[in-house]
Amino acid sequence: MTVRHRYIAASPEAVFAVLADGWLFPSWVVGASRIRAVDDVWPAVGSKIHHSFGVWPVVVNDTTSVIAWSAPLHAEFEPRGWPLGEARVTIDVKPRGAGCVVRMEEHATSGPGVLVPEPLMAAAIKLRNREALQRLAWLAEGGAAR
């Protein structure tokens, strides 16, 4: 399990507005290269973003599902990226001053990712999620989901 925190100079509602716009997904999720479709009911529990990851021409089509959604404080997602596997990503947001602190937790749940030794997986995920939280901050602070 890998956890990252970041202060974002925007309200929890602004952060969740970005998360609620499935079309912004590849703007903040590192590795996502394009969106093919977003379920009409996104981000309702069970809804999906149909995305691709990788660099063209080597891209893999898969999905990310909403497991829990309690805006503007808590969300859980299940990204799929076969042949790499599946993961669980939890985002918790707490107001702090004029902004908020975002906590992102991720761990592999199935596939080859669960076989990678924890220290190696944690190092890779920490770097990726640090960048993801930076991108999420830019989008929320800039009002991308208005």
Residue 145 clears pLDDT 80, i.e. is over it: no
15-24: average pLDDT: 98
pLDDT at 146 over 80: no
pTM of this structure: 0.93
* Residue 115, pLDDT score: 85
Angstrom distance (rounded) from CA 117 to CA 114: 8
User: What pLDDT shows up at residue 112?
Assistant: 85
Nearest to 137 by CA among 27, 9, 25: 9
**Could you tell me the CATH number of the domain that includes residue 95?**
3.30.530.20
CA atoms within 13 A of residue 40's CA, in its CB half-sphere: 0
Our count of domains for the chain comes to: 1
Q: Over range 19-35, report the average pLDDT.
A: 95
Give residue 79's domain range: 2-142
- Under the banding of pLDDT at 50, 70 and 90, the label for residue 46 is very high
Contact 121, 113 (CB under 8 A): yes
Distance CA 10, CA 85 (A): 33
Structure confidence at residue 124 (pLDDT): 86
